[in-house]
Structure 1
Amino acid sequence: MKKTGIAIVGAGVAGSVLARLLSARTSEAGQNITIYDISRSYVKPCGEVVPARLVDSIVPSLGIPRPRVLNSIRRFVLSVGSETVREYKPRSVIWYSIDKSGWVNSLRNGLNVVYKGVNPAKLANRYGVVVDARGPFSSRGRKIVVWRAYAENPGLERDMVYIIMS
């Protein structure tokens, strides 16, 4: 049996962007792209802060929808416990907090998404290319290193983030 098409496992940012880019470039070649995800709606409790360059330059150059920017971050205070270690004030905005759930859900529109959990290795018999885009939290028991930081904004300054190491 000839293996054809592309399977992408994980419809988060990486998987959805890849599927959109491949769809735009392979539609004429007749490639079938299927993206698998365990959830119909992308929900991420953290990680909504992204580099401004990604939103302002890279996303438009790829021809994909721009995420909705919630805040522009212009100042950082890094603390360990209650001690301030460093304050950083760049000349321009270098980070945005975005509506990542809304962005990913909009990226999924128009894609061939199958909502079920799959093992990427088991798809290799059916597809010519299989991409595992599930992210670091799909390790299934293997130890992964995670750096933890908590971003807080007490509401006093809209463009400031406090990063507190635990």
Structure 2
Amino acid sequence: MTKIAILGGGVSGALLSYLIKTRTNYDVKLFDIRENYVKPCGDIVPNVYNPPVPWEIKFNIKRFAFYLDRKLVHDIEYRNTKWLVIDKWKWINQMREKVGVSHISFFNKNEFDMVIDAKGPYDMDRNVVYTTRALVKTSKFDDIAIFEFDTRYTGFYWIFPSEEGILNIGAGFLEYKNSKELLLNYIKEKYSDALILDIRGAPISVSPVKDKKYRIGEARGLVFPLSGEGIRPSAISAETAFEAIYKEKQFDEFIDEKLKKMYNGINIQHKLLELYKYSSLPLRRSLLRLLFRNDILIDAYLEDKITIDGLLESVRSIKNGSLLRK
């Protein structure tokens, strides 16, 4: 019997191990440093993907607001749901419970026919942005998604709904590693009655990785750096990896070919991020105003479609009447 080890039980590792466990006769073992998954993020996915293992949807997001240096520059409301707020921790931990998790200190590669790296960015073999996320109870709850950009830094603050009366508020900036300090000041400024229920930090990949061999998800560099979206790319990579294993394809070649369009989109975002990082403050303001005052560019940004094909798709969506301005 083929024995497979998966290192890391986040989105990609938990989903791949679950698919192998439930849909094949292979012997799969999942390794992680924690019994339960607790990595923080915005818990947001664009409403363009359905995972093979369903997740619980907590909010349907149709409204978005964009701030630049503390001033509202644009807000928009869509006719249909654009984003989903999901219960990511519950989704991942249910899959981990089905498979079982062994502590990574017990891993011995000689016991396995195949070892797959799903450890996310934690080998630190790429550039990362250090983000902090807080769950905040407040009377000023709303189900709108808010982005706020501070042009002194490369990154943004976010405010998303989490539970009724609880907001998911976060921050991440390349030039400022202590995102917790910035976030706490931001929360204090925005919400006078804020009660912080939970606060955690995590790195997010913002550059390509050199070694992709037998890696999936964020370990393979599959994060859209302009938005920080990694849930959907990681889940898709797990599905693709499962297909490669099940069909006995060459693992890395198969994934690279299947995900070519995703790689192209991520690489374009890497270049745009570098352009923004080395731009002057006036140019940064001009670039962001251009982005957030254009419905086509906003649509592409929210669904990580900042490619020629993606922009054309956004234009078609607007012509078909799927967008509705406030």
Change beyond 3 A, Cα 1:148–1:12? closer
Which of 15, 18, 40 in structure 1 is aligned with 2:35?
40
- CA–CA distance in 2 between the matches of 1:88 and 1:148? 26
Cα drift, residue 33 of structure 1: 0.3
Match of 1:76 in 2: 64
* Structure 2 residue matching 1:110: 3-state secondary structure: helix
- CA–CA distance in 2 between the matches of 1:44 and 1:86? 31
Tell me, yes or no, if the aligned pair for 1:74 and 1:92 is still in contact at 8 Å.
yes
Compute the TM-score of the two structures, normalised by the length of structure 2: 0.40
Which of 59, 70, 75 in structure 2 is aligned with 1:87?
75
More helix by share: 2
> Percent of aligned positions with the same letter in both sequences?
30
Cα drift, residue 155 of structure 1: 5.9
Match of 1:6 in 2: 4
Which of 47, 50, 57 in structure 1 is aligned with 2:45?
50
- CA–CA distance in 1 between the matches of 2:90 and 2:11? 11
Q: Once the two structures are superposed, what CA deviation does each residue of 1:4-56 show, in whole Å capped at 9, x if it has no partner?
A: 411111111111111111223322xxx210010111111122231112233xx
* Structure 2 residue matching 1:7: 3-state secondary structure: strand
Change beyond 3 A, Cα 1:154–1:48? same
Cα drift, residue 82 of structure 1: 0.8
Larger RCO: 1 or 2 (CA < 8 Å, sep 6+): 1
Tell me, yes or no, if the aligned pair for 2:8 and 2:117 is still in contact at 8 Å.
yes
Map 1:141-160 to 2 at 5 A. Answer: 142-146=125-129, 158-160=142-144
Map 1:21-32 to 2 at 5 A. Answer: 21-27=19-25, 31-32=26-27
Change beyond 3 A, Cα 1:71–1:47? same
- CA–CA distance in 1 between the matches of 2:133 and 2:73? 15
Change beyond 3 A, Cα 1:23–1:155? same
Tell me, yes or no, if the aligned pair for 2:41 and 2:133 is still in contact at 8 Å.
no
Match of 1:116 in 2: 104
Q: Once the two structures are superposed, what CA deviation does each residue of 1:117-150 show, in whole Å capped at 9, x if it has no partner?
A: 578xx62x332211111112x034x442439698
Match of 1:98 in 2: 86
Compute the TM-score of the two structures, normalised by the length of structure 1: 0.74
Change beyond 3 A, Cα 1:37–1:147? closer
Tell me, yes or no, if the aligned pair for 2:7 and 2:104 is still in contact at 8 Å.
no
Give the number of the structure whose alpha-carbon radius of gyration is greater: 2
Specify every segment of 5 or more residues in structure 2 that has no aligned partner in the other structure, as ranges. Answer: 150-155, 157-326
Q: What number of residue pairs does the alignment pair up?
A: 149
* Structure 2 residue matching 1:105: 3-state secondary structure: helix
In structure 2, give the amino acid aligned to 1:163.
Answer: F
Change beyond 3 A, Cα 1:101–1:76? same
Cα drift, residue 78 of structure 1: 1.7
- CA–CA distance in 1 between the matches of 2:59 and 2:19? 27
